[in-house]
Amino acid sequence: MDLTYLKNLENYYINNPKISRIGISEQQIEKLEKELSIELPKAYKEFLNLAGDRDNLLGDWNRGFDQLSWIQEEIKESMTDVNLHLKPFFVFAEYSRDQALFFFLNEGENPSVYAYYEERIEENGKEVFYIKFRNSFSEYIDRCINEMLTNK
C-alpha cells in the first residue's frame, strides 16, 4: 500500500525493528469494509496495513482487527443507552466498553479523531459525551509516536 498520511509510522517501525507489530492485508481491509458496508478513510487503512492487528502505540485500548465489528456494536449500544445519535462513524479503539476513539466516515481521507465517554466530560463549561481529540488521524498517530519516543 502506498503511504500518504502515515509515513512517520512506517519510519518509526523501520527505525525500531524490535517493536512487535502485525499489519493487515489490503484484501482483509476490503473484506471488513464490505462486511460493515462502509469505506474507511485512507489514513486508517494505512494504519491497518502497517500495524492493524498488533501495535505498541495505543496502549491499553482494545483495537484488534478481529474485534473491530464487535467494538462497533458495543460502542453504538453504549451511545444508544445515553441517547446519543451521531452521523456515520467508525470506532477504531475502545476501553472498558464505555470509552472510545472514533472518526466520522464523511470527513475525508484523514479525518479528525474524537473521544467518547459514556459518563460525559466537561468541554468549554458543558458536559458532553464526546470531544474532538485530534485534528486528523495522522496527527493522532504522530502524537502516539512522540509519546513512545519520549517514554523510551
Type of residue at 124:
N
Give the model's pLDDT for residue 59: 80
Let me know: does 21 contact 88? Beta carbons within 8 Å.
Answer: no
DSSP for 2-34 reads --SS-HHHHHHHHH-TTS--B---HHHHHHHHH
* pLDDT for 152: 62
d(CA 53, CA 88): 23
Query: Model pTM greater than 0.75?
Result: yes
| Strand residues in the chain grouped as ranges (E) | 89-95, 99-104, 113-123, 126-134
Contact 89, 130 (CB under 8 A): no
Per-10-residue mean pLDDT for the chain, 152 residues long? 96 90 94 96 97 83 90 94 95 93 98 95 90 97 92 71
